[in-house]
Structure 1
């Protein structure tokens, strides 16, 4: 009975994550942001464009890896002190308590990060605000199209 409830929890965790991640994928593939006009003398759009020194993928990967390492380190130290949860039976194998507790903490963090990313993406698509370097990049695009 307990084995079935653990498997059900894992399946529901992944289902909840997929439910949040699918709209992100849908925005990326099929949606286009709201387009709005601008004033030529808007000072908030006149900042110079600066290239990224760290890519978004690298930043997200390192941030997620740091979080996973931190959670696993904390759970192992709790296990060594005897403050971790007991072992869980999952299928035909027994999962140590620190691994299960790590899975739960990483799952909560991942779900929260996915919800935060969904909220930011929805806001970007709905608000449609131009980037502060809009004039700098649009003049470069125009120059490339002319030549």
Structure 2
């Protein structure tokens, strides 16, 4: 039973052959050495996961998002900007959202999680068994597919949180008025005329809606939707081998994802929530962040999977994670694309 237990991994097979050469054909000596080295034989190619680092990364990432994207904007408030009396760009009527914030977030997270989960599950079925490393958490074996899914979803979250912080801080710092500002604000006793700049006014509208009407630049809907769509499109290109799909399948999927992101962005102009320039900059911010996340942080096109794990401290071999001393070094090239 111990013998078959040792045969689980490719490294175990090699080690058994080495032991056989050392002791020759004497059965008793062979089994004695197997018993002495059983733990090392079984675990020589397993990667240890550092749970402390995983939790620390989670707290750091979402703590940064909470402080930079929610707490600081709430404490500092939005910049109070005046307007020109003849400015026609802020005189549009108020309309309900075509894509509500809840629907937007559902799309963003559903796309990234579903695409990554489906792709990594598919890769686990087509990758050669000897190219997929094994992982453990303590003495518990963890499925490699689960690790890869967490890996890439983790990177998608890093980019999203950073974009969320930058978007919210920019909105509050600039305080650009939305196209529907005057309809939402309902300023009292306006006496200015012509091209006169007017900043001494009091809004009679709903205070929360008025504060939101000062946060036009740049479009959060556009940046978040395009980030999710672009990340998913690049990820699919990096992780799906070309020969496994017909030539038109991947471009169609990518175009659909990008098209949905663009339609969400365009809806903000039709809903009188953003100026066209707000939407353009939001699109560029989302696309740029997604490209940077995939190419620089996740290094999807240059590094093996395990060399870029953001949430795991991996050591080859069955060693104490706190010591950081690996037994062997085995690289997993599971994320390289087959041309």
Tell me if both proteins adopt one fold, taking TM over 0.5 as the criterion: yes
Structure 1 stretches of 4+ moved >4 Å: none
Larger-Rg structure: 2
Deviation at 1:76?
0.6
Contact preservation (8 Å) 2:135, 2:142: yes
1:111 pairs, out of 158, 174, 187, with: 158
Distance 2:205 2:126 in 1: 64
Task: Please point out which of 204, 209, 226 is paired with 1:142.
Answer: 204
Aligned partner (choices 84, 92, 106) of residue 47 of structure 1? 92
* 2:106 is aligned with 1:61: yes
Query: What displacement does 1:13 show?
Result: 2.3
Higher helix share: 1
* CA RMSD after TM alignment: 2.3
The secondary structure found in structure 1 opposite 2:136 is strand
The DSSP-based 3-state class of the residue aligned with 1:142 is coil
Q: Is the 8 A contact 1:86 1:96 kept in 2?
A: no
Aligned residues: 142
- Please tell me whether residue 35 in structure 1 is matched to residue 97 in structure 2: no
Is 1:90 matched with 2:119? no
Name the residue aligned to 2:30: none
Q: 1:6 to 1:143 in 2, by over 3 A?
A: closer
The answer to whether the 8 Å contact 1:71/1:106 transfers is yes
Specify whether residues 85 and 28 from structure 1 end up closer, same or farther in structure 2 by C-alpha distance, changes over 3 A only.
farther
Q: TM-score, normalization: structure 2?
A: 0.39
1:86-133 C-alpha deviation (Å, 9 max, x unpaired)? 221012321111110110100100110010011011111111111111
- Alignment partner, residue 7 of structure 1: 51
CA distance in 2, matches of 1:40, 1:135: 10
